[in-house]
């Protein structure tokens, strides 16, 4: 059976931490569905379409064009387990950076496991080189004129600097 993993998040923008988790997921699953949560009323820095482009550009650079074919990006605004079911995913991927992530993710995994026992949550550990990275801080650094290039893939650094400049 084709192993399908769903990796949900906001990816606003995709960071080196997300790419690290994607790399680990590609080793475990045949297909990875990156599910971008879109919420009416919450204004992201990058549009959904821009985030899709950045994820694919970063994945192509990091893993190559062939591996990039195994990644699909979708939008969702409903429950994560509902989008996992709709996409036929057996695995729900979450990255763990620290104890704070763990406490919250344990609650989510417990509740999702009750709602959808057929979907297995898989926790993947952040690598030491990227475990400190959060998209929220990346956005804040860029918006305050800082250089966030150390935390994001090459394909993201330029568009990030541009979008914050154009938003001034």
Query: Where on the chain is the footprint of ligand ADP (CB under 6 A)?
Result: 9-11, 15, 17-18, 20-21, 94-95, 97, 101, 126, 130-131, 133-136
Closer to ligand ADP by Cβ: residue 10 or 112: 10
Closer to ligand ADP by Cβ: residue 65 or 132: 132
Closer to ligand ADP by Cβ: residue 130 or 143: 130
The nearest distance, CB 55 to ligand ADP, in angstroms, is 11
Closer to ligand ADP by Cβ: residue 65 or 75: 75
The nearest distance, CB 58 to ligand ADP, in angstroms, is 13
Contacts of 52 (CB under 8 A, 6+ apart): 36, 73
In 10 A of CB 48, how many CB atoms? 16
The angle, 0 to 180 degrees and rounded to 10, between the axes of the packed helices 80-87 and 99-115 is 60
CA quadruple 56, 109, 25, 154: dihedral sign = positive
Burial of 131 (0-12, 13-18, 19+ CB in 10 A): middle
**CA–CA gap between residue 124 and residue 134 (Å, rounded):** 16
Closest residue (Cβ) to ligand ADP? 17
The nearest distance, CB 70 to ligand ADP, in angstroms, is 18
The nearest distance, CB 30 to ligand ADP, in angstroms, is 20
């Amino acid at each position: 059976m084709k192993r399908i993993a769903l990796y949900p998040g906001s990816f606003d923008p995709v960071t080196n931490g997300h790419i690290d988790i994607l790399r680990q997921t590609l080793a475990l699953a045949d297909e990875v569905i990156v599910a971008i949560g879109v919420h009416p009323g919450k204004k992201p820095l990058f549009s959904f379409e821009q985030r899709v482009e950045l994820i694919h550009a970063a994945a192509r650079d990091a893993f190559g064009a062939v591996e990039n074919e195994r990644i699909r990006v979708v939008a969702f605004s409903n429950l994560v387990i509902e989008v996992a079911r709709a996409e036929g995913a057996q695995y729900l991927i979450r990255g763990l950076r620290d104890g704070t992530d763990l406490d919250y993710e344990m609650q989510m995994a417990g509740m999702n496991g009750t709602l959808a026992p057929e979907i297995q949550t898989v926790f993947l550990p952040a690598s030491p080189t990227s475990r400190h990275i959060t998209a929220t801080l990346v956005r804040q650094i860029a918006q305050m004129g800082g250089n966030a290039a150390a935390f994001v893939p090459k394909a993201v650094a330029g568009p990030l600097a541009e979008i914050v400049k154009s938003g001034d």
